[in-house]
Chain A
Amino acid sequence: MPVNLISIDDLTFFYNGLEILSDISFTVNKGDYLGIVGPNGSGKSTLIKNILGILKPQKGCINLFGQPLNMFRKWNKIGYLPQRLSALNTHFPSTVEEIVQMGISKSQSQKIKKALELMGIGHLATRLIGELSYGEQQRAMLARTLVGQPDLLIFDEPTTALDPETRDIFYTQIEELNRHKGTTIILVTHDTGLIGKYARHLLYLDKKIIFCGTFKDFCASADMTGFFGAISQHIICHQHDPLERKQ
């Protein structure tokens, strides 16, 4: 029996009187790799912020790890990388090490070192975050997200500033965590082609859910062919992990 990590029922969210999310219902089970895609302004980041309690929905309920959101306390089980790193104050006086250490105990210095090395920035540990390039800052933030080894990882457009090599390292690492350690992944992205390569489930959002299910179902769906057009559907489907298709 699958274990529900996230369960969303009938979620509706308004901002300044505008409906941003409408009647959203879906579940994420332990071990899932869910890709959330959709056009600009489709409510992807808003949905994530509702799940994390940053925004409060006007209607509906959210359960995390079997508990209602307002009762949930074990936030160390969730790792989150927000989208808007560009808002980072470049004069913020903090070393990369201090940023990665955020939220974990000071005695875990080995874990910090490992996470930094994994992201290829071990040599930047004592540098100030504001002195790094945007891509290096993003790697530092990724290391921070991974260091606590949470059960659920939520990424909101994580690879925008990364070079192709680092992006591949990131995706490979995430996939490894998902396959071998059972870490549940939610990945918000614009890159519909790439999401097909890694995620097992797809949620297409445009203020409401257009599609939610496995890639197999998505690729076989005539409705989705009608909605996206055959070419777009093919772009998403043809990159999908062949290993997964065999499952």
Chain B
Amino acid sequence: MGICEILHYDFVQRAILAGILIGAISSLLGVFLVLRRFSLIGDGLAHVTFGSVAVVLLIGISPFYVTLAALPIVMISSLVILKLTSTKRIQGDAAIGIVSSIGIASGIILASLSGGYNLDLFSYLFGNILTVNQTELLLAFIVFIVVAATVIFFYDDLFALTFDEELAKTMGIKTGKINTILFMLTAVAAVLAMRVAGIMLVSAMLILPPLTALQLSISFRMTIIASLIFSVLSVISGVIISFLLNLPAGGTIVIMNVVFLLLVFGVKKIPALQR
């Protein structure tokens, strides 16, 4: 089966489109999170998502709306991480660890109460972008617009906050407000990324594209653009390769992200390209 033939399928088109949008969302937010040493927030929120999905499946909400139904719990958890971190007595990684443990523990208990690990919960653990529905595609589009608008509109504030939060405060930037927006959007990104890569690999979607872009040693603005490009390329190539080789799409997308990271590492080693 050729690439053109693959692209004729509706579900493949939907998967690629949703993947591009979710990859773009994750990579845009990921730059700010990685630089502020919140890389593992994706992992923490993904574990909360596991708990939320278990709740949703236990209640018996239609799988069609699981993503939407899981959102409020994950958004609240994201704010809890922010609140715990702002006390300064708990480091960011520890705050993520606390919320992550609660998420995974409650997920295991609730899954057990609902009669063991059913097929639906497993599909969220490992993700399946090829099953993305119209509601999720629409949600991904809306969130992409919101994230892109936020990054453009609050670019200066986000830049200053990422560079030095205290300095940003002295510039009159409402750091609390910007942090809240960033963490809320990250929660939405984590839930959406769960559909692409699965709960186990959400953090890869947030971390790998920015990390690859950071290796290029370019300006802040260009790092954001490069992160977005690497993410979109990984999603497109990942979906196509997974379809051609009959591999899980989520894992293949993440492996493609790693391939790009290794490629950039390799290119940087070429003496002629070193500064």
The reply to whether B220 and A93 contact each other, CB–CB distance below 8 Å, is yes
The reply to whether A103 and B156 contact each other, CB–CB distance below 8 Å, is yes
CA distance A156 to B76 in the complex (A): 38
The digit string for B205-220, where 1 denotes a CB below 8 A from any CB of A, is: 0000000011001111
CA distance A99 to B166 in the complex (A): 15
The reply to whether A98 and B170 contact each other, CB–CB distance below 8 Å, is no
- B89 CB to closest chain A CB (Å) equals 9
The reply to whether A103 and B160 contact each other, CB–CB distance below 8 Å, is yes
A contacts with B: majority SS: loop
The reply to whether A52 and B220 contact each other, CB–CB distance below 8 Å, is no
The reply to whether B169 and A102 contact each other, CB–CB distance below 8 Å, is no
The reply to whether A92 and B219 contact each other, CB–CB distance below 8 Å, is no
CA distance A49 to B167 in the complex (A): 10
CA distance A101 to B160 in the complex (A): 10
| Residues of chain A from 81 to 113 with CB closer than 8 A to chain B in the complex | 82, 87-89, 91-95, 98-99, 102-103
CB-CB under 8 A for A98 and B169, given A89-B35, A91-B214? no
Which B residues are in CB contact (< 8 Å) with A74? Answer: 172
The digit string for B21-51, where 1 denotes a CB below 8 A from any CB of A, is: 0000000000000010000000000000000
The reply to whether B170 and A128 contact each other, CB–CB distance below 8 Å, is no
> Is B177 located at the chain interface by the 8 A CB criterion?
no
The digit string for A171-210, where 1 denotes a CB below 8 A from any CB of B, is: 0000000000000000000000000000000000000000
Q: Which residue of A lies closest to B167 (CB)?
A: A82
Number of A-B residue pairs having CB atoms within 8 Å of each other in the complex: 62
Interface size, chain B (Cβ < 8 Å): 23
- A180 CB to closest chain B CB (Å) equals 25
CB-CB under 8 A for A73 and B172, given A82-B167, A102-B156, A102-B160? yes
The reply to whether B218 and A80 contact each other, CB–CB distance below 8 Å, is no
> Is B163 located at the chain interface by the 8 A CB criterion?
yes
The reply to whether A128 and B163 contact each other, CB–CB distance below 8 Å, is no
Which B residues are in CB contact (< 8 Å) with A89? Answer: 35
> Is A54 located at the chain interface by the 8 A CB criterion?
yes
> Is A75 located at the chain interface by the 8 A CB criterion?
yes
| Residues of chain B from 156 to 187 with CB closer than 8 A to chain A in the complex | 156, 159-160, 162-164, 166-167, 169-172
The reply to whether A98 and B167 contact each other, CB–CB distance below 8 Å, is no
> Is A53 located at the chain interface by the 8 A CB criterion?
yes
CB-CB under 8 A for A53 and B163, given A89-B35, A93-B218, A93-B219? no
- A190 CB to closest chain B CB (Å) equals 21
CA distance A76 to B170 in the complex (A): 9
CA distance A82 to B163 in the complex (A): 13
> Is B221 located at the chain interface by the 8 A CB criterion?
yes
CA distance A103 to B164 in the complex (A): 13
Which A residues are in CB contact (< 8 Å) with B275? Answer: 131
The reply to whether B170 and A75 contact each other, CB–CB distance below 8 Å, is yes
A75-B170, A92-B162, A95-B220 are known; give 4 further A-B pairs, CB within 8 A: A74-B172, A75-B171, A93-B219, A102-B163
